[in-house]
Amino acid sequence: MSKSTTTRKNPSATVLIVGAGFAGLGAAIRLQQAGIRDIVTLERADRVGGTWRDNNYPGAACDIPSNLYSYSFDQNPDWSRSFSGSEEILGYIQAMVERFGLQKYIRFNQNVTDLAFDDELGVWHATTEAGEVFSGRAAVMAQGPLSNAGFPDIPGIEDYQGHKIHSAAWDHDYDFRGKKVGVIGTGASAIQIIPELVKEAGKLTVFQRTPAWVMPRPDFETPDWQKTLFRKVPASQSALRKGLYLAHESMALAVIWDSPVTRMAERLGRWHLKRQVKDRWLRRQLTPDYRIGCKRILVSNDYYPALQQPNCKLITWPIARLSEHGIRTVEGIEHQFDAIVFATGFDVSHSGTPFPVRGSGGRLLADDWKRGAQAYKSINVAGYPNLFLTFGPNSGPGHNSALVYMESQIDYIVKGVKTILSRNLKALAVRDRAQQEYNEAIQQRLAKTNWNSGCKSWYLTEDGFNATMYPGFASQYANQMKELDLRDYSLVTA
């Protein structure tokens, strides 16, 4: 733990949570419901919300239906659309904080810079940028898998003198009207931004590296009768949620493995493209040359039409560098812009950690993960007792709601914390062997998936190691998280 003369120590809590996004807040709710109320949640921002606080670019929305992209223990009968926008999701999160009285647990403007385990005391200490130390018998790392904006590694990025905007830190004061705007990226955020920007910008130029598979988006306004029904008969909303869950589970057959369903999904993607793009040449530029599922599948009804607006142009030449006035592509043309939008995703670390995490005997998690991040059931790491990860290694969903996975992780955390308390443990430490066996099986299963079938994606490290995705159905993941098997842990009593 880093020490400073100005460091202020706070009284120790039972559970320390890093991050007040969906995961951190969900963990606080379930711990509270289990009677554990001595919780401290450290949040670096001045508001809750995580992803949905930061990603408020025009058109920002979820791509899983809201009735599934919400907590099963806090369903919202009032979603205005099948796929809600960022603002409405943020509203749901803020209302959740009110409903469950979570404010008292949260300490804002506390950016955790170090997390260290004290073997003697069996306590985690979190040091923050503000010079405070917070301690807890258990720690939950819920700082989010996609919480740090990532800029591409393009030469000359500092040379560009125009306005730079990242999708995850939108500049709402910038007036796009009549401006020449470049968009780098054609991923999940870009395809939501482009249809909105094209309505404002004078000229919009989109730089595509790899075309994505884009599927139709069954988005519609929720009729009032449905909201009334959900309010009066909550079981009807649970039934819809179950139906959506099962429908998404069936998509695993297309997304995760190469099966006849994969071919059907590809046919649907090609049909959507053909229906919306009549120009053969443009269609060719937008046709993916890799198996569906290998990269994240996108859903949009207005992306292809936006690209065909008279003020929009798609460039598929690779970018060579940024210059003072714009973007130079490899064939030597300089495209000049008033503003460049970086829809280039997030700084996803496959091996490092967002801040130093020091386990038993001061070992560093970044060292242990140097050759690829690994955990037991994605949640505990050998050598780091009483530490729980949300969205840890190999827990990424490709076909179902992230919140379904999150709920399983949170319930597992509650079991872990209850075990620590009821047995008065100094350390609940997963065994090396259990972690190793779990990961060998995961990597064997991953080898047979579409993600590992040869395309380049943010799921993989440079050398092709997949520390991101879970190779199975969400229900398989949930099943493995149901039981905390103490045979896989060593227990040290206080």
Ligand X SMILES: Cc1cc2nc3c(=O)[nH]c(=O)nc-3n(C[C@H](O)[C@H](O)[C@H](O)COP(=O)(O)OP(=O)(O)OC[C@H]3O[C@@H](n4cnc5c(N)ncnc54)[C@H](O)[C@@H]3O)c2cc1C
Residues that bind ligand X (CB under 6 A): 18-24, 42-45, 50-51, 55, 62-64, 69, 111-112, 142-144, 146-147, 189, 354-355, 390-391, 401-402
Distance CA 210, CA 195 (A): 19
Q: Which two tokens stand for residue 270?
A: 């090609």
φ/ψ of 218, rounded to 5, equals -80, 70
Structure token pair of residue 319: 């970018």
Instruction: Tell me how far apart the alpha carbons of residues 417 and 388 are, in angstroms, rounded to a whole number.
Output: 9
**Beta carbons of 428 and 286 less than 8 angstroms apart:** no
Beta carbon of residue 2, minimum distance to ligand X (angstroms, whole number): 14
Instruction: Tell me the three-class secondary structure of 345-403, residue by residue.
Output: CECCCCCCCCCCEECHHHCEHHHHCCCCCCCECCCECCCCCCEEECCCCCCECCCCCHH
Specify whether the CB–CB gap between 141 and 349 falls below 8 A: no
Shortest distance, CB of residue 396 to ligand X, whole angstroms?
9
The secondary element (H helix, E strand) that includes residue 26 is helix 22-33
Return the structure tokens found at 171.
């500049």
Q: What is the DSSP letter of 105?
A: G
**DSSP one-letter code for 202:** S
Cβ closest to ligand X, residue 180 vs residue 399: 399
Residue (51 or 300) nearer to ligand X, CB: 51
* 114 phi, psi to nearest 5 deg: -160, 140
Q: How far is the CB of 479 from ligand X (least distance, A)?
A: 19
Of the pair 69, 465, the CB lying nearest ligand X is at 69
Nearer to ligand X, 41 or 449 (CB): 41
Q: How far is the CB of 83 from ligand X (least distance, A)?
A: 8
Q: Could you give the count of Cα atoms lying within 13 Å of 488 in the half-sphere of its Cβ?
A: 19
Q: Which is nearer to ligand X, 212 or 434 (CB)?
A: 212
Report the nearest approach of ligand X to the CB of residue 430 (Å): 21
By C-alpha distance, which of 57, 164, 41, 9 is closest to 105? 41
**Cα distance between residue 382 and residue 388, in whole Å:** 11
In the bound complex, what is the minimum distance in angstroms from residue 333's beta carbon to ligand X? 31
Q: Are 195 and 57 in contact (CB under 8 A)?
A: no
CB of 141 to ligand X, least distance (A): 9
- Nearer of residues 136 and 354 to ligand X, judged by Cβ: 354
Write down the least CB distance from residue 111 to ligand X, Å: 5
111 or 309: whose CB is closer to ligand X? 111
**Nearest distance, CB of residue 390 and ligand X, angstroms:** 5
How far, in Å, CA of 454 to CA of 133, rounded?
45
Q: What is the CA radius of gyration of the chain?
A: 23
Q: How far is CA 97 from CA 21, 31, 106, in A?
A: 11, 14, 10
Query: In Å, how far from its chain's centre is CA 486?
Result: 29
Between residues 62 and 265, which has the closer beta carbon with respect to ligand X?
62
**Euclidean distance between CA atoms 492 and 124, whole angstroms:** 15
- Could you tell me the smallest distance in angstroms from the CB atom of residue 98 to ligand X? 17
Closer of 33 and 109 to ligand X (Cβ): 109
Q: Which residue's CB is nearer to ligand X, number 298 or number 427?
A: 298
